A and B are shown apart, each in its own frame.
Chain A
Amino acid sequence: MSLTDRQLERYSRQIILKEIGPRGQKALLSARVLIIGAGGLGSPAAMYLAAAGVGTLGLTDGDAVDLTNLQRQILHATPDLGRPKTESALETLAALNPDVKVITNSVKASAENILELISGYDFIIDGTDNFSAKFLINDACVIGKKPFTHAGILRFSGQLMTYVPGAGPCYRCLFVAPPPPDTVPTCRQAGVIGALAGVIGCLEAMEAIKYLTGTGSLLTGSLLTYDALKTEFRKIAVPIRHNCAVCGKEPTIKTPTDYESAQCDVKF
């Protein structure tokens, strides 16, 4: 693959970086990244990955654009209300960078479809908003041997961690099982500040870019937490759990499972 003059110009600011260079740019252009959830986290992640020239972006989301989404989900705009998120996202990304092939799936990721959804991708980004989906993605990526970045946001805090097969702990090493339904609030109940989705979603994009270009070090073996109110980042070491139910020596979870999600009737 050789880069066209238009591509050299479009990506010049990153091709100049010696950690990226022409080789890194070619790696990005031939890479395939799947983003599960075209919402608060998925929006900035998708936009920066598209802008960087990731050749194929997969987007999976079964929802339609709702007015309450627009405070943080920057892939979508006011005229998109009521449209499938994947459709609106595809238009935004195609306008941003025609180099990028966008593959959309207007379905909710589930135990039934997750392994097929992630197959054929080099890197997965968790842009979901509930524990059920996060465990589903983790288990599927461990079973399907796919690297992925987990992220979560709530109110003014966020967290991030990257899993690479054979290179460190998985999300389940850190959190053994989903919390019982109704014990933990979702964004819907607890609220979230939009710029936080931007910060954490961009960090997810950064992890993908580093993985794909083989540069720098990833958040494998550590959890990054961000407290926006205090402007505090913390990087906490996460050990491998050798008896982890999915990535441990004798795994008991061999297929992805759907968990019941927290319901939205919790009062605060």
Chain B
Amino acid sequence: MTKKTDPRTAEPDAELDICDVVCPMTFVKAKVALDDLEVGQILAIRLNDGEPTENVPRSLKEDGHRVLKLTDNRDGTYRLLVKKAPDYF
């Protein structure tokens, strides 16, 4: 298992913007970006308010990843921090 991460101080290892795509490409792009990371690394995702903020974190959790934080950018977008889980199948 990987060590605990404090969501307040977590620094992302990679950034991804999925504001230009809609479901299911939002989740697909997030999966691909996580696939390129090492287990335990953190991905920061910029996503639109509404359907993406509801579904993307949930789908990533279902895949076993750890959603650390979702913060409102106050411009209609959110910033999601997610930590890559060990091999999830």
Q: Are A9 and B25 in contact (CB under 8 A)?
A: yes
Total A residues in contact with B, Cβ cutoff 8 Å: 13
**One of A10-18, A68-76, A83-91, A181-189 at the interface:** A10-18
Contacts of B31 in A (CB 8 A): 15-16, 21-22
Q: Is B72 at the interface (CB under 8 A from chain A)?
A: no
* Residues of chain A lying within 8 A (CB to CB) of residue B29: 8
A8 to B62, CA, bound (A): 20
Interface size class for chain B?
10 to 19
Known contacts A18-B89, A215-B89: does B35 contact A12 (CB below 8 Å)?
no
Query: With a CB–CB cut-off of 8 A, which chain B residues contact A242?
Result: none
Compute how far the CA of A183 lies from the CA of B33 in the bound complex, rounded to whole angstroms: 58
Chain A: interface secondary structure?
A: helix
The answer on a CB contact under 8 Å between B25 and A18 is: no
Does A112 belong to the interface (CB within 8 Å)? no
Q: Is the CB of A21 within 8 A of B24?
A: no
Contact A16 B28 (CB under 8 A): yes
Please report the C-alpha to C-alpha distance between residue A15 and residue B33 in the assembled complex, in whole angstroms: 12
B24 to chain A, nearest CB (A): 5
Q: How far is the CA of A175 from the CA of B63 in the complex (A)?
A: 43
Residue A19 is within 8 A (CB to CB) of chain B in the complex? yes
Supply 19 further A-B pairs (C-beta < 8 A) apart from A15-B28, A19-B89: A8-B28, A8-B29, A8-B32, A12-B24, A12-B25, A15-B32, A16-B24, A16-B27, A16-B28, A16-B59, A18-B63, A18-B88, A18-B89, A21-B31, A22-B31, A22-B32, A22-B35, A23-B35, A215-B89
Question: Using a CB–CB distance below 8 Å, which chain B residues touch chain A?
Answer: 24-25, 27-29, 31-32, 35, 59, 62-64, 88-89
